[in-house]
Structure 1
Amino acid sequence: MTTAFTYLPRVAEPEKMTEEEEAHYARADYSVPHEAFVDEIVAAIGRGKEISLVDLGTGPGDVVLRFRGKVDWDLWGVDFSPGMLAIAVEGATARLPASARPINWVIADTKRTGLPSQYFDAVISNSVLHHLEDPLRFWREVERIGKPGGFVHVRDLRRPPSDAEADRLTSLHVGRESEVVQEHYRSSLLSAYRADEVVQQLDQAGLHGLQVRELDDRYLEVVGWRAEPA
């Protein structure tokens, strides 16, 4: 792993996208990473189980909708953008059969969801952490709403070591998307956390038993089964 001092300082971006950014993000094609993310979680948990799963920062709901196409779990999608959840509801109508088990869509801050404590067997999130100026509040909410011994899978970008690498990753992964998406993606890379920073966040939040690992050229993920209380 590259030593911490070689990394760029974190440049925070706003927690909430503009309406223009939301519209472009909803139209962007993230089908390949989203499908891989869902398949990895289904494989880790097992299809035959009856579980409750919440996606924090679900955005337009693509990840949750992909789950519904594979499993009959109790699914929840949380986002603080009414516009994003409206797109998610439209997507559910268009993509799922009328007989599909309903998905619970909740308008709420991922750091203060109002959901019941120790309710969820699995708490997941994708590309949300880098938006948060106070990630500790997010991790404490993950700890609160998830069951002891439950499953956690949080995937996000990780901060690159240089501006040149940020430019390369942007061109490589979203170079065919709109200029708005490209600018937002680069900004997201520069606001992302390093793996060692996330390790410290988890320790402070009391989330134990989880692995923090770097994935591919731009992701990090927190994954595993939470340690049971002593």
Structure 2
Amino acid sequence: MLLVTQVYVKAKECSEQLSAENFAILLARHFTSFYKQVTTAIVKIVEKPWERVHINGQPHEHGFKLGSEKHTAEVTVQKSGVLKLTSGIEGLSVLKTTKSGFEGFIRDQYTALPETRERMLATEVTALWRYSYESASSIPKNPLYFTERYLDVKKSLANTFFGPPKEGVYSASVQRTLFQMAKAVLNRFPDISSIQLKMPNIHFLPVNISSKENTIVKFNDDVFLPTDEPHGSIEASLSRFWSKM
């Protein structure tokens, strides 16, 4: 209970708004400096995204709704000031209704799945990226820097997944798209040294009822059934060659 109280006190003492990452660093530095016996502090924060409500196109003055995905932050700070900082996204659900396939995969005598260039693609993105800052004193001075970086990373992931608004972008597989998303983040943000992505399949299968008796209703891939099984849990980690991942 004493540690929880100190978290509240440190929050009250903040004279300006901080990112989740900066607040985690503040807490970790407090615990490593205040207690002689503490050599390393690990602080994990999960931020739930409250979004302002819009009524008839106008932003509500005091109305908010809870968004779906979560912003995560984890920091490890040693008494010497050595820092390890990671941020992430959990529960980012995305779906596109076309421009997705699954083709070119290895086939053997056990392969039953046909190739396709047209299917619905849905997944729930979990991303975790590590920053290259190695000391608490080396992080940017902007107290909302990591909040802005989080929003930019989320935007980069979504833009790579969906492609341009009109024409979109073709996905040959979830695996290929995952790789492209991770690569886009590393290419755009030089202070991110590595990123891990997890993107399980969320299937929406077309309902096709074949029956000699069924002459009234004809299905043409226009009714879909959501199903969790079977699915693949696709994961990958990308890092720069010098990363200590």
Report the TM-score when normalising by structure 1.
0.26
More helix by percentage: 1
Choose between structure 1 and 2 for higher RCO, CA contacts under 8 A separated by at least 6 residues.
1
Report the TM-score when normalising by structure 2.
0.25
More strand by percentage: 2
